[in-house]
Homo-oligomer: A and B are copies of this chain.
Amino acid sequence: MRTNAREEVLIITHDVQIALGEMTTGDGVCTIVTPHTTCALSVNENADPDVPLDVTRALRAMIPAVAFRHGEGNSDAHLLSTMIGTSLTWPYRSGKLILGSWQGIYFIELDGPRTRRVNVYVT
Partner of A66, one of B43, B61, B69, B121: B61
Are the C-beta atoms of B82 and A84 separated by less than 8 Å? Answer: yes
Interface size class of A (residues with CB under 8 A): 35 or more
- How many protomers of this protein does the assembly include? 3
On whether A54 and B70 interact (CB within 8 A), knowing A85-B42, A88-B87, the answer reads: yes
Partner of A100, one of B36, B59, B99, B101: B36
On whether A70 and B83 interact (CB within 8 A), knowing A33-B91, A61-B64, A64-B62, the answer reads: no
Are the C-beta atoms of A54 and B36 separated by less than 8 Å? Answer: no
Chain A stretch 69-123: residues in CB contact (< 8 A) with chain B: 69-72, 75-76, 78-79, 81-91, 98-103, 106, 108, 119, 121, 123
> Does chain B have a CB within 8 A of A50?
yes
> Does chain B have a CB within 8 A of A44?
yes
Residues of B within 8 A of A27 (CB): 123
How far is it, in angstroms, between the C-alpha of A42 and the C-alpha of B41 when the chains are bound? 12
